[in-house]
A and B are shown apart, each in its own frame.
Chain A
Amino acid sequence: MNILTYLIPISLLLGGAGLLGFIYTVRSNQYDDPEGDARRILNDEWDDKPKP
């Protein structure tokens, strides 16, 4: 059962990383235009070089 000493902190850390990632996406306005973002990837305008 000693393995729990490692496993529980690891699972909490991984979950916490996911939570922090989600909070980052909310804070950086990534849910403002879900439809537009889904479509923008189909656009080939900036395929060769990144948008300046």
Chain B
Amino acid sequence: MTAQLRPTAAACPACVAAPAQAVEPAPQEARIALSLPGIHCQACIANVERALNAVPGVDSARVNLTLKRAMVEAAPDMQAADLIPVLEAAGYEAHELDPGAISATQTDRAGRDLLMRLAVAGFASMNVMLLSVSVWSGASDATRDMFHWISAAIALPAIAFSAKPFFVNAWSALRVRRLNMDVPIVLAILLALATSLWETSLSGEHAYFDAALTLTFFLLAGRYLDHRTRAVARSAAEELAALEVHRAIRLTSKGEEQVPVAELVPGDLVLVRPGGRMPVDGEIIEGRSELDRSLLTGETLPVYAEPGFAVSAGEVNLTGPLTVRATAVGQETSLHRMADLVAIAESGRSRYTSLADSAAKLYAPGVHILSALSFLGWYIYSGDLRTALNIAAAVLIITCPCALGLAVPAVTTAASGRLFRKGMLIKHATALERLAEIDTVVFDKTGTLTAGTPQLVNLGDVPLRDAQIALALAQASSHPLSASISAAAKEAGIAPSNVTEIEEVPGFGTQGVYQGQQVRLGRAAWVAAEPGAQTAAWLAVGTETPRAFLFHDALRPGAAEAVTALQQAGKDVRLISGDTRPAVEALADRLGINTWQAEALPADKALRVRDLTDQGHKVLMVGDGLNDTAALAAAHVSISPASALDAARVASDIVLLGHDLSPLADACATAVKATRRIRENFRIATVYNVIAVPLAVAGFATPLIAALAMSASSITVSLNALRLR
């Protein structure tokens, strides 16, 4: 952001002789952005800033509480990984943000620009309004003319500056021979200014400078609200994207090096540690492990991976380190190829016209015809061009969509704010309107209704000795089934038994020695057991019969409530998953969902959603995986949790920020309410027009009546919108 000015060598002749190094810019300061979701008060600001500033190498740190972020200027070799432990020691959760992905400055500039125009319009309209009040209360002759001229001197430059966004929009619409909401606005403003100038030069009684300015002010207020809502959503969405800092470990002849994923090329050897996500498509060269592919395919069970096995970007490595030779990187990975499916599906959605657009389509021609008719009528009736033009301007000003311009943004701002406090991020401008229309809800299973983490179900049936051995073995592994066993056992107050020589065999399980006997916890085949239908880990003690630890998917918190509430609201709830039949059936039974489909491929999901749409249903798709992406884009409106893959979040209209699913049903209710308010607002604006337009056409509209009607309708509309909070 800070531009550095330094004199060029040519600017000072002596410098030419100076060594070249002297002119070279100082090493660029590292700018580190950290997300701090836990900060909330002045003490947090002080603690975080003190902790960061105490780190050697940090030049300055500043916390932004509104965005819950800290920006740090530090020495070039400083990494975010050096600062996160410092903050964690101080008791604050911190995540690295990719500073490149936060383009806050750019969106900020547009908002600042609007705010500046709004301020100028507000200043000018207040001054002109004061002058107008004296005209209305009886100033006459030379005084009135002087007031009109002063108003003109304020209004003309002020409108030229502050109404520029409308001029630009109207011109770009007219250039392609179309009408939008801005065309009648611009026409009204220009016609009002022109007739008022003419009237003033003839020492006439009526001038509409105040109306033109108030109009600009109210409309800019609507624009600004609209921009703010979107900017907040955009910056939160950017923050989600920035949280995924894409780095990979490349193996070269010199050893390991950390590089951005964008720099990898096919043929590179990439090391993926347990817990890491595959950055590229490729083939395993070395190592054995298990892969969690749930985000890509919806399968809950990890798959076994060994050298020669093909992996795709986005899969998560679970147990052992893997060396992968990249075959496709960046845009060519299967993860990115999915984007094509999304593009096809999205072309269908762009056909949706928002309420504001359909209102504008009815409204813009109507206003022009009405105003032209009253001009013609009066011209034929009185034969006076001046009267006829005056009345046409009055009609345009009174019908001008001041309240219409505020009707939608005011409601969406209030509704988005309400949903944001409940942890939902509205990404798309018309998402609320579309959400209000839905009658069918399609859920994905893994990662959406279920948390994607297995839960141990039969701990009570396992003898204490086996549970203790299992806990000792499970603690040594980061495999999800092991993590689940240790969590459940610790919660039941079981202490690990003394197992020695514990080692993890990547891809198979964990083994050790217990009282001279070999013990193993892992896959069925590894301990010589018969695999069953349910997800299970097996414990073998010596030569005894292996014992099964059975798991089912843990429900995401609020999933049951959300499904029940949606069903009670009369929505048709369905479940489509890429997982196996028994797993899907069990979950559908548990949640009371009657219509379900298992083993669905990504294209199947999108097809199913499109089928429902063709049958006349409005579908809400809730999903998180890559296999849902096409379906998310094909649905009428879509929601994904924040834990979803980047691609899924991009394809969906609404992002659920928290872990809890229960706000879903409430969001639908809020959306219905918001749409009702928008329609109400349109009706209020119409009522004002119905009262004021006959007055204007009949020639009774004075600037005073125009100002009153305009302000009153704008204020009623805004107040009505605020009822939603």
Residues of A within 8 A of B41 (CB): 39
Q: How far is the CA of A16 from the CA of B150 in the complex (A)?
A: 15
Given the known A-B contacts A19-B119, A23-B119, are A43 and B64 also in contact in the complex, defined by CB atoms under 8 Å? no
Chain B proximity mask over A13-44: 1 for CB below 8 Å, otherwise 0:
00110110011001100011111100110110
Q: How far is the CA of A49 from the CA of B291 in the complex (A)?
A: 58
Q: How far is the CA of A9 from the CA of B529 in the complex (A)?
A: 95
Q: How far is the CA of A27 from the CA of B112 in the complex (A)?
A: 8
- Which residue of B66, B119, B127 contacts A35 across the interface (Cβ within 8 Å)? B66
Q: In this complex, what residue of A is CB-closest to B115?
A: A26
Residues of A within 8 A of B63 (CB): 36
Chain A proximity mask over B31-51: 1 for CB below 8 Å, otherwise 0:
000000000011101100010
Given the known A-B contacts A39-B45, A40-B42, are A32 and B64 also in contact in the complex, defined by CB atoms under 8 Å? yes
> Chain B at the A interface: mostly helix, strand, loop or mixed?
helix
Q: How far is the CA of A32 from the CA of B1 in the complex (A)?
A: 15
Contact B116 A36 (CB under 8 A): no
Q: In this complex, what residue of A is CB-closest to B131?
A: A8
Contact A26 B116 (CB under 8 A): yes
A45 within 8 A of B: yes
- Which residue of A16, A27, A33 contacts B123 across the interface (Cβ within 8 Å)? A16
Residues of B within 8 A of A4 (CB): 143, 146
Report the count of interface residues on B (CB-CB < 8 A).
25
Q: How far is the CA of A42 from the CA of B703 in the complex (A)?
A: 49
For the complex formed, measure the closest distance between the CB of B102 and the CB atoms of chain A, giving whole angstroms.
13
Chain A proximity mask over B223-245: 1 for CB below 8 Å, otherwise 0:
00000000000000000000000
Contact B126 A15 (CB under 8 A): yes
A3 within 8 A of B: no
Contact A45 B143 (CB under 8 A): no
For the complex formed, measure the closest distance between the CB of B624 and the CB atoms of chain A, giving whole angstroms.
31
Contact B127 A15 (CB under 8 A): yes
Contact A33 B46 (CB under 8 A): no
- Which residue of A16, A18, A19, A33 contacts B64 across the interface (Cβ within 8 Å)? A33
For the complex formed, measure the closest distance between the CB of B191 and the CB atoms of chain A, giving whole angstroms.
26
B464 within 8 A of A: no
Q: How far is the CA of A46 from the CA of B42 in the complex (A)?
A: 13
Contact A1 B130 (CB under 8 A): no
B698 within 8 A of A: no
Q: How far is the CA of A4 from the CA of B331 in the complex (A)?
A: 70
Given the known A-B contacts A11-B130, A18-B123, A26-B116, are A43 and B45 also in contact in the complex, defined by CB atoms under 8 Å? yes
- Which residue of A1, A22, A26, A34 contacts B66 across the interface (Cβ within 8 Å)? A34
For the complex with contacts A8-B150, A18-B123, 4 further pairs of A-B residues with Cβ separation under 8 Å are A4-B146, A11-B127, A23-B116, A36-B65
Which residue numbers of B lie inside 8 Å of A, CB to CB? 41-43, 45-46, 50, 63-67, 108, 112, 115-116, 119-120, 123, 126-127, 130, 143, 146, 150, 154
21 contacts between A and B (CB under 8 A): A4-B143, A15-B123, A15-B127, A16-B123, A18-B123, A19-B120, A23-B119, A26-B112, A26-B116, A26-B119, A31-B115, A32-B66, A33-B66, A33-B67, A35-B65, A36-B45, A36-B64, A36-B65, A40-B42, A43-B43, A45-B46
Q: Which 6 A-B pairs have the closest CB atoms?
A: A36-B65, A39-B42, A35-B66, A19-B123, A33-B64, A42-B42
Which residue numbers of A lie inside 8 Å of B, CB to CB? 1, 4, 8, 11-12, 15-16, 18-19, 22-23, 26-27, 31-36, 39-40, 42-43, 45
